[in-house]
Amino acid sequence: MLNSFNNMSFFFLLYINTVRELGKVFKDSIHGHVELHPLLVKIIDTPQFQRLRNIKQLGGGYLVYPGASHNRFEHSLGVAYLAGVLAKTLQENQPELKITVRDILCVQIAGLCHDLGHGPFSHLFDQMFIDQACENEDWTHEKASLEMFRYLVHENNLKPEMKKCGLNIKDDQEDKEDDQENKKDDQEDKKDDQEDKKGEQEDKKDDQEDEEDDLVFIEELLGKPLKENKNVSKADWPYKGRKVEKSFLYEIVSNKLNGIDVDTFDYVARDCHHLGIKNNFDHLRYFKFARVVKVDKDPRKHIGSRDKEIWNLYNMFHSRNLLYREVCHHEVTNVQIMIKDALLKANIHTMFKDKDGHLLTLSAAKDDMEAYTKVTDQVTEKILQSSGEARKDSRMILERIMKRDLYKLVGEAKTIIERLKEQLKDDLTLEELEEIMNGTLEVVVRETQVKKYKLKGKVKDLKQQLKTVLPSGEQKKANDYFEAVPIQEVKDPIEYTYFYDKKNPQRGFTMPRNKVSNFLPECFWEQTIRLYWKKKEETYKDSTIEKFEKWCKDNKFEVTFNSPPNEASTSASASTSASASTSAPATLQYTLACSNQSACSASHLTPLIYLLACLDASPLHYLPSLRSSLCSTLPQCDDSRLDPESTSR
């Protein structure tokens, strides 16, 4: 009896250990207890992945928002988890899709590794630093993620582990052997013409499964098709990892069609949580209504949502827009510019060893994964702790950040939408143009138009114009004086989102915005340029601002903010306003609020003071006549620009 009990205990412990090997549980601040596959854990436990612990998700945003301390590490875990949840949900709800365990594991690996290529301070590195340090170089963090993933698999010998987990991984020698076997099979198939059709179909299925290389599939999920053919039309399927029947799998981690993917779901929820911003989007509800649908005249299958869920998706884009505006495009993004400037000045003086032991600069380290593994946010600490003249300028910028002596925002301008429409007319069809004129279509943006009117080229032109303000000897140092920052928001993503209805859940369709609501934003595309002044001395600041305003006027931009060129006039205006309030009657105080400060000059305030002095202590029935009298003193005035408010003393 005792022996049988011991045997049962042994098998029970063996069973428990087997269950534990199935996955590891992480406690996530957003998704709770998350269980990940053992292969994912092996990837996590590598130096290349652990590097993400030292890269802030929001870059320099942490220096503005104290709560933004989360890193790319936990975001990657969250994306891997959500990728598995969505893939398994589709597998359970639509068995006809034939989603396999291999499919799910590959999608999870891609979700886990999609951000491996990020540099110090995330997007600051690739969008700001590399853009200036390696001008005209076609490098993105997505390409680096693919290279880092390959390096991670090779350095940690993970191919055997992948095969143990059931993935179909081929090397070069196996590919050659498979090619020879396929040729032999083709010859045998030709000889066996009398074989029944059922057997032939089974052979084709087996051949198709043999053709699927899971490592190629994962790499394609991390980026573009590995072998793009420019002669292939959009209707053809460019990917090798999976056939077109499983095209929807490419939309789970990174949806290039509309941006509705698990990467977005996680960073919106995570960023909002750490920043204290309310997130009204419920990704778990989205999973409940997600289905793979077929779209007319499109051989590919897409992930769609129930038609009634459109407002849930708009909540997601609203939350994402809030993050862009309040964090990524916050006025204090000057901190990001200062970090970028510090990295630029320290670029050639900050070295990292490559795989051959050679020293590479900060900007060159991105091309060698051995060196790039060491490049994290800690590079700024390395600069601060350095000594000597080589990195003195870089240290001074970082020390200014520590003392909150930041660059000043001195100008901001936005595209005038009505004029932008006029510019777009040449690229629109007659039908689209008619919709614009009728007001049913506000702004139409195609990929060619985005490239044509991209802000990057305009900002370069602006910088060249601003340089002319400086003396010839200082023009080479223009980057030390000012910075022009482009901010471009995206088109309406719902325009490229597919939905289905309850009666026909297999067919996907798009929903025009005028059928959704008349209260939706009129424009989803906005271009903004901000001008920052870097120097403590302001010798050329006023003339630079004037040049900025002139350039904006010539290039159809409307200046929405500019720093007052003369602080003395500002103080004089303030003192005049103070005297106006003291001249008001003793028993009733009137406060003047002018929404157009340029119109409220001191010369116009004098008659306003006289009008206030003529008022007696009578009740509030004087307010309408006061508004009319005040308006008559201003040129081209309408009543909405003045708001006299009364408060009892």
The string of pLDDT tens digits covering residues 369-414 is 999 999 999 999 999 999 989 999 999 999 999 999 999 999 998 8
At residue 569 the predicted structure's pLDDT band, cuts being 50, 70 and 90, is very low
Task: Measure Cα distances from 290 to 94, 154, 287 in Å.
Answer: 10, 36, 5
Place 426 in a pLDDT band, splitting at 50, 70 and 90.
Answer: low
Residues 339 and 361 in one domain: yes
Distances (CA, A) of 238 to 169, 228, 292, 376: 20, 7, 20, 34
pLDDT digits (tens, 9 = 90+) for 2-32: 455 455 444 444 444 444 456 799 999 999 9
Q: How far is 312 from 626, CA to CA, in rounded Å?
A: 48
Max avg pLDDT among 20-24, 151-155, 640-644: 151-155
With respect to residue 197, please indicate whether it lies within any of the assigned structural domains: no
Per-residue pLDDT tens digits for 259-316: 899 999 999 999 999 999 999 899 999 999 999 999 998 899 999 999 999 888 888 8
Active site residues: 141
Place of tokens 């891609």: 110
CA neighbor of 222 nearest in space, from 365, 71, 371, 112 = 112
Name the least confident of 72-86, 336-350, 426-440, 490-504: 426-440
Domain that holds residue 479: 408-560
Q: Do residue 474 and residue 347 come from a single domain?
A: no
- Residue 335 belongs to a domain: yes
Residue 206 lies in a domain: no
How far apart are the C-alpha atoms of 608 and 626, rounded to whole Å?
Answer: 10
The rounded distance, in Å, linking the Cα atoms of 170 and 159 is 9
Whether 364 and 503 map to the same domain: the answer is: no
pLDDT confidence of residue 421: 55
Overall number of domains in the chain: 2
Q: Is 171 helix (H, G, I), strand (E, B) or coil?
A: coil
Same domain, 428 and 365: no
Give me the pLDDT at residue 399, please: 96
Comparing 328 with 228, the larger pLDDT belongs to 328
pLDDT, mean over the chain: 77
Provide the strand spans (E) within 385-513. 408-415, 482-488, 499-500, 507-508
Residue 90: exposed, middle, or buried by beta-carbon count in 10 A (0-12, 13-18, 19+)? buried
Instruction: Report the pLDDT value the prediction gives residue 414, as an integer from 0 to 100.
Output: 85
Which of 381, 401, 421 corresponds to the end of one domain? 401
442's enclosing H/E stretch is none
CB-CB contact of 23 with 37 (8 Å)? yes
Single-letter amino acid, residue 200: E
Domain co-membership, 428 together with 535: yes
| Amino acid at site 433 | L
Calculate the CA dihedral of residues 448, 449, 451, 453 and round it to 10 degrees. 160
**Which one of 509, 538, 560 terminates a domain?**
560
If asked whether residues 261 and 308 sit together in one domain, one would say yes
* 605 falls within a domain: no
What's the CATH code of the domain at 302?
1.10.3210.10
Beta bridge partners of 27: 33
Q: Are 465 and 358 found together in one domain? A: no
What is the percent of the chain where pLDDT is above 70?
66
Neighbours of 635 (CB within 10 A): 6
> Strand (E) positions, 37-96?
none
Backbone CA torsion sign across 243, 244, 248, 250? positive
Q: Where are the beta strands (DSSP E) in 462-508?
A: 482-488, 499-500, 507-508
> For the whole model, what pTM was predicted?
0.75
Distance CA 361, CA 383 (A): 13
Least confident stretch, 231-235, 523-527, 532-536: 231-235
Q: What is the per-residue pLDDT across 191-248, written as a single tens digit (0 to 9) for each?
A: 555 455 555 555 445 444 456 899 999 999 998 776 555 455 556 889 999 999 999 9
Q: Is the pLDDT of residue 486 over 70?
A: yes
Residue range 155-200, pLDDT digits in tens? 999 999 999 999 998 875 454 454 455 555 555 555 555 455 555 5
Residues 6+ apart with CB under 8 A from 297: none
* 382 plus 473 within the same structural domain: no
Cβ atoms within 10 Å of 572's Cβ, excluding its own = 12
| Domain termination site, one of 537, 560, 583 | 560
pLDDT for position 14: 40
Q: Are residues 416 and 397 in the same domain?
A: no
Q: Is the pLDDT of residue 635 over 80?
A: no
